[in-house]
Amino acid sequence: MSEEGSRVDMHVKVLDDGVVERSKARGIDVLVYAPHFERLPTIRQRAERHSDGELLVVPAREIFAEAWRERKHVLAIGLDDPVPDFVTLEGAMDELRRQDAAAVVPHPEFLSVGMSRHDVRRYADVVDAVEVYNLKHWPHHTRRARQIAESVEKPTFASSYAHMRRTVGEAWTEFDRAIDDEQDLIEALREGAPRDVHCRSGVEYSLASAAEFAHLGWENSWKKVDRILLSGREPTHPRHEAYDGRFDDVAVY
């Protein structure tokens, strides 16, 4: 952490020793780790294992609300109890409200996976920030995301949205304060703490950005959908026994 503040890569999907090393080399102080289809206790254990005096890894959940073709992603930080995927957006937001978790909107209106301007406005009491940039964005995605954030008067953030090790730390949000633990980040988000968004530039950055966008093919493949939706045994399926039926009334599968 610098004297001026803390650099936070607000959304990454990968975490191992190589990711930690790369983050430090990029000057990142905090990683928000939210892998797909992993339950909160597992995420917390990994985050704690890879945190040290130089890098804080904050556990989070990117919840896939609604059905696969209409899914709306919500990034939750500070959950006490696990929340599954593929529940209604209303059900997800009610649960985040109940747990008093920080909620931010990744990639709004991006392809078929982002919350809409209407969604953000409807749940303005829950949403703490709107993402305006990540490495999967093309320029028009960034312009639209900024317009959405401005229209609902919400603070902004950027992230690498890294699904691959090489892209971690290529974009970040720099807060004006020290963020030494999970609660510090939650408070910075809730209070709308001053921040700036940044990304790297150059050939290496351009290649990393292109690689992340190309990764969308796997992200949206039906092979992956079948694995997640049809078995009913995946860790974040709403009818998994771990949730003890708590989300049956808002499950969409």
Convert 72-120 into a string of H (helix), E (strand) and C (coil): EEEEEECCCCCCCCCECHHHHHHHHHHHCCEEEECCCCCCCCCCCHHHH
- Measured between alpha carbons, how far is 51 from 29 in angstroms, rounded to an integer? 10
pTM for the complete prediction?
Answer: 0.92
pLDDT given for residue 4 in this prediction? 76
Along the 253 residues of the chain, how does pLDDT read in single tens digits? 555 799 999 999 999 999 999 999 999 999 999 999 999 999 999 999 999 999 999 999 999 999 988 999 999 999 999 999 999 999 999 999 999 999 999 999 998 889 999 999 999 999 999 999 999 998 999 999 999 999 999 999 999 999 999 999 999 999 999 999 999 999 999 999 999 999 988 877 788 777 787 777 656 555 555 555 555 668 999 999 999 999 999 999 9
Residue 149 lies in a domain: yes
Helix 17-25, helix 40-50: angle, nearest 10: 60
C-alpha to C-alpha distance for 143 and 49, rounded to whole angstroms: 37
| pLDDT confidence of residue 221 | 55
Q: With respect to residue 249, please indicate whether it lies within any of the assigned structural domains.
A: no
Please give the structure tokens belonging to residue 139.
Answer: 């320029």
Under 8 Å CB-to-CB from 89, ≥6 apart: which residues? 65, 66, 72, 74, 115, 119, 123
- Pairing, β 195-199 against β 171-175: antiparallel
Is the residue at 10 inside a domain? yes
- Per the CB < 8 A criterion, the answer to whether 193 and 184 are in contact is no
Contacts of 214 (CB under 8 A, 6+ apart): none
pLDDT at 202: 85
Residue 59: inside a domain: yes
242 domain-assigned: no
Per-residue confidence (pLDDT) for residue 110, from 0 to 100: 92
CATH number at residue 133: 3.20.20.140
Domain boundaries, position 42: 6-221
pLDDT in the model for residue 214: 72
Tell whether 150 is covered by a domain: yes
**Residue 229 placed within a domain:** no
* Residues forming a β-bridge with 61: 76
Q: How far apart are the first and last CA of the chain?
A: 43
CB neighbour burial string for 207-235, b if at least 16 within 10 angstroms, e if fewer: ebbeebeebeeeeeeeeeeeebbeeeebb
Number of domains within the chain: 1
237, part of any domain = no
